Structure 1
């Protein structure tokens, strides 16, 4: 390495390149390209930091450093929080201001809350600004809960006034229609995914029926929470936009219920919760009851329920519990209905594939789901089931037509 005395022009050029954000090795390389001289990377770094090229310099003042824009390390945690670490210049008062700290880390205070913050302070000389206060700042933040909840409440209450549908009786409507809706997982599923199926279902409804029963068999919504994506038991799921999911679930439900009210003498809506949405589905059913006063809406927090359609006894349950002896439980819990019925069926979902089985005269119908495969299903290879919706036509005493949509 050639020892040399740098000219003022060379020193100014090094400072200029450093201001452009180039690292010491890149500054040394650029100087070589321009002057054809090997500038020591170490000496370049020393000059940028202290303003001197000699390794024997023992100035009394603290080493001067070049003001450069420092990087930020971002870590996304499993619990949905985000940790940000960076070095920044601020005053002690600014370090106590949550909004300033959030903005300094690149977070909008309107959308994020600080969970924890730690700012380590020291002072250092700067080439441009002299003695400055620096902080090694580390914060953990979470999305604001209020924003998502307010959005969800706004969606749920925007049309809370009852919807009046032109509803007429027609004695020629003899058959009944059952529409099982299970495992839609709104948030993973979007309206665009089921638009064609919904149109086909509405065409079937328009044929006209004596009674239409809409069965809400659980997991309509992917998450049981608004500001995070979790099942009712707390299992963390891939993130979805829950306010949007609720909005699309409302549009989907309203299209079916309104068309049913226009084309049936009686509309019944039965429900049970799922393992994903047991709590929030209860709230959703309250909205349905308030919105559609002309329908007979069953709001409950049970794991199973049953009803009589002519002489057909139908029990609905999500399918994640009561799997050992559901027929025996039905007979015990609904003895009066069991004695009246000539046909007994149990409708469920949960496992996302279609299956029908006759066990000693009790027909078990397990319905598939129209939802696209999510990341977990794709990872585990659960992608082979048919993506179906259903409509079942019954006479007074048995199933007559099964529509696969």
Structure 2
């Protein structure tokens, strides 16, 4: 037998509490002595009198002649829903569930009206809200408040990379270069493949290849990512689930992969060493990261950094290059990089910080730290058009360094 609840319930008066315990005693739901019930409520008659009163109360309840006891229809609870600016939703509802169900994420999502296949639970708070009604007796209800966000369509990265290792044919260095000089930085930010194509970027590829082949380099450094792809899946959404213009992601992936294979293969045969670093952005964090992992499989002789840190750095001789997409903390880039990489920046002769995101070229020298926002040659997508990021020069930049100076910027 379930343990009987002697406590006074939410919304239950002292008299109704007495009536419930007395009638339940007659119905055999508990075995408490009548004298104990009398003392519990300071009932001003004998235990036998209480038993007789209980018989009358039972009759009244059975014939529905007593006033309605806090019926289910009288349960008042202000249910609310709220849509936040980041696309997440808040819901506050009174839900009938037990203790186990209150721990079941899928049950809670569906109870609030959210499809578990489309929504992800961010947080939840459930407070018990027991009430008593004539029809159902004690009800286990919960005041349930949740925040959810749309699921970002993705795929099993581990399985994908395992298959990639089987399918991708590695390309090795043909002839090792040992006497190269200078550093070439290749930061092609905001390529947005999908809106742009391999064919439209052939002039960019050819000019970059021309610079790679212009001499033997000590180091060629690629920053890859930075909104390399326009969507983060196949449903026209960004990394945060924001709905934007949908593009052909099969072609976008193939175009981006082929584009960088052309450049990296040329670089590894024309420099002492090549390094590639993934730079996370707001459009395509999962898809572009996976693409860079595939490039890592394709070029096993090259060093890759595929970590997902928002702010990263690269050091070559007395040159420090910091880089971040610029979609987070853009107003404090100088301070944030000093906090993260202050020691490396302090000893460098050249300190550059390169960002993208707004598709517009800017440069600000702040106490010897050159913070640049790099432009793009990509087409203007809907978001940048709507937000007024239009009319900028359509071009990419390549940077050539000697061990202690920035020697040239090439516009392509």
Q: Which runs of 5+ in 1 are unaligned?
A: 1-114, 116-144
C-alpha separation in 1, matches of 2:372 and 2:389: 20
CA contact (8 A) 1:155 1:246 kept: no
Cα gap change, 1:343 to 1:290, in 2 (>3 Å): same
Matched, 1:223 2:231: yes
Q: How does 1:278-297 map to 2 (within 5 A)?
A: 278-297=285-304
The one of 298, 311, 316 aligned to 2:305: 298
* Structure 1: distance between partners of 2:373 and 2:223: 13
Report if aligned partners of 2:165, 2:297 keep a CA contact under 8 Å in 1.
Answer: no
CA distance in 2, matches of 1:333, 1:339: 12
The CA deviation at 1:286 is 1.2
Distance between the aligned counterparts of 2:345 and 2:374, measured in 1? 23
Moved more, 242-251 or 321-330: 321-330
Matches within 5 A, 1:259-278: 259-278=266-285
| Structure 1: distance between partners of 2:193 and 2:164 | 15
Tell whether 2:349 aligns with 1:331: no
| 2:174 alignment partner in structure 1 | 166
Matched, 1:213 2:221: yes
Once structures 1 and 2 are overlaid, which stretch shifts more, 278-287 or 344-353?
278-287
Tell me, in whole angstroms, the C-alpha distance in 2 between the residues paired with 1:297 and 1:317.
Answer: 17
Q: 1:220 to 1:161 in 2, by over 3 A?
A: same
Q: Choose the corresponding residue for 1:370, options 360, 372, 377.
A: 377
Aligned to 1:394: 401
In 1, distance between residues paired with 2:192 and 2:167? 23
TM-score of the superposition, structure 2-length normalised?
0.58
SS of 1:315 mapped into structure 2: strand
Kept in 1: contact 2:161–2:294 (CA 8 A): no
TM-superposed deviation, 1:378 = 4.3
- When residues 155 and 193 of structure 1 are mapped into structure 2, their CA distance, relative to the original with a 3 A threshold, is farther
| Cα deviation, residue 165, structure 1 | 2.8
Give the TM-score taking structure 1 as reference length.
0.59
1:219 Cα deviation after fit: 0.4
**For residues 312 and 264 of structure 1, what CA distance do their matches in structure 2 show?**
18
Alignment of 1:6-405 (within 5 A): 159-171=167-179, 173-207=180-214, 208-225=216-233, 227-378=234-385, 382-405=389-412
Q: Secondary structure at the match of 1:294?
A: coil
Q: Deviations over 1:152-177 (max 9, x none)?
A: 99996685232113132232x22110
Q: Check whether the contact 1:186–1:245 (CA below 8 A) recurs between aligned residues.
A: yes
How far apart, CA to CA, are the structure 2 residues paired with 1:382 and 1:336?
35
Tell me if structure 2 keeps the 8 A contact 1:182–1:367. yes
Change (3 A) 1:367 1:159: farther
What is the distance in 2 between the residues matched to 1:366 and 1:352? Answer: 8
In 2, Cα distance between equivalents of 1:201 and 1:362:
26
Q: Note if contact 2:311-2:337 (Cα within 8 Å) is conserved in structure 1.
A: no
User: Retained in 2: the 8 A contact 1:217–1:317?
Assistant: no
